[in-house]
Amino acid sequence: MTDPSVFHTGFIAIVGRPNVGKSTLMNRLIGVKVSIVSNKAQTTRHRVSGIHTDEHAQFVFVDTPGFQTRHLNALNRTMNRTVTQSLAEVDLVFFVIEAGRFSDEDAQVLALLPKDAKVILVINKVDALEDKSSLLPFIDANRARYPFAEIVPLSAERGQNVDRLLEVARGYLPEGAPMFDADDITDRSERFLAAEFVREKLFRLLGDELPYGMTVEIERFETEGRLRRINAAVIVDKPGHKGIVIGKGGERLKRISTEARKAMEDLFDAKVYLEVWVKVKSGWADDERALKSLGYD
């Protein structure tokens, strides 16, 4: 049992295939939204750190992109490199899978885990499991796949058993003083988060029309007290994608801008003036120099 009088601090990578709920889990763990969420693959493209501090520990969660096994262009290679780098730099790993399902893609991610890593298997979406009696056999089956330090079933969406995950994880973090202030929630800048919020609304509001070759670049970010002036460019790969993002009469882009602005105001606790437009930059997703200029590590 962990001594509650000893403070623990460490980094935890949240890994898994796309769409298992990694970003939802991190947002739930830190209590505020810093990692964007949608039902589309590749929503998370960057390594995003969220910070949760309580009286006993400071948890620095690293939400990574879902490991990509298809379409290995420069963007996906960069995302995969982000995952492997994260695994090499943390004290603990949360390997997230869906309750009742272990796919070939899950197996591929599991095979990437360092052999000496301390790994907690997080079985997410237990609330969506139709046959609840199948959970225990599913847990037993996964014990044989890897020497997991712990197995914790939960629902990130509903917050079920998330406190238990924190309690278990604390015992695997090294003793030490906190690395961040107690009220810090992320190590990412407001500028970075602004781009992510615009990108999230694109994912949510474009649905199946979402162009694959699309990202967001912040061209202007100015702070004036409790006011933020932000200009964001939606970068698409093909001229035909521009109309998809803008929508009839500009209504779709207007809604994207409005919802992104509201999300920024909630997180930044400030008034936001946001302007969003669309630009064509052909081949950006397979251009290493373009990726670096757009902030991809």
Query: Can you point out the beta strands (E) in 68-200?
Result: 92-98, 119-124, 150-153
Residue 102 is labelled as binding a ligand: no
* CA–CA dist 188, 133 (Å, integer): 41
Q: Does the pLDDT value for residue 25 go beyond 90?
A: yes
243: Cβ–Cβ under 8 A, 6 or more apart, which residues? none
290: Cβ–Cβ under 8 A, 6 or more apart, which residues? 281, 283, 284
Tokens of residue 22, six digits: 């990694």
Residue 23 is labelled as binding a ligand: yes
* CA–CA dist 200, 205 (Å, integer): 9
Closest listed residue to residue 16, CA positions, set 58, 69, 91: 69
- Provide the edge-to-edge strand list for the sheet that holds 214-224: 214-224, 227-236, 271-280
* CA–CA dist 247, 255 (Å, integer): 10
Mean pLDDT over 158-166 rounds to 96
Radius of gyration of the CA atoms of the chain, in A: 20
Q: Determine the pLDDT at residue 41.
A: 44
Residue 21 is labelled as binding a ligand: yes
Residue 18 is labelled as binding a ligand: yes
Residue 262 is labelled as binding a ligand: no
Task: Looking at mean pLDDT, say which of 18-32, 84-98, 118-132, 231-245 comes out highest.
Answer: 118-132
Residue with tokens 């604390």: 170
Q: Which amino acid does the sequence have at 210?
A: L
Residue 211 is labelled as binding a ligand: no
- pLDDT over 90 percentage in the chain: 44
Residue 20 is labelled as binding a ligand: yes
pLDDT digits (tens, 9 = 90+) for 163-204: 999 999 999 999 999 988 888 888 778 888 898 889 888 888
Q: Determine the pLDDT at residue 86.
A: 60
Between 5-9, 37-41, 146-150, the lowest mean confidence (pLDDT) is in: 37-41
Residue 126 is labelled as binding a ligand: yes
CA trace torsion 237, 239, 240, 246 (10° rounding)? 90
Q: Determine the pLDDT at residue 46.
A: 47
38: Cβ–Cβ under 8 A, 6 or more apart, which residues? 200, 203, 204
Task: Give one DSSP letter per residue of 225-241, joined into a string.
Answer: TTEEEEEEEEEESSHHH
End-to-end CA distance of the chain: 39
Mean pLDDT over 41-68 rounds to 71
The more confident residue out of 127 and 67 is 127
Residue 17 is labelled as binding a ligand: yes
Which CATH number describes the domain made up of 190-294?
A: 3.30.300.20
What does the chain come to in residues?
297
Residue 22 is labelled as binding a ligand: yes
pLDDT band at 71 (very low <50, low <70, confident <90, very high): very low
Instruction: Give the pTM.
Output: 0.68
User: What are the boundaries of each domain within the chain?
Assistant: 8-171, 190-294
Residues forming a β-bridge with 244: none
Which DSSP state fits 237?
S
Q: Determine the pLDDT at residue 280.
A: 87
φ and ψ at residue 290, rounded to 5 degrees: -65, -40
Residue with tokens 């994260």: 86
Architecture of the domain whose range is 8-171:
3-Layer(aba) Sandwich (3.40)
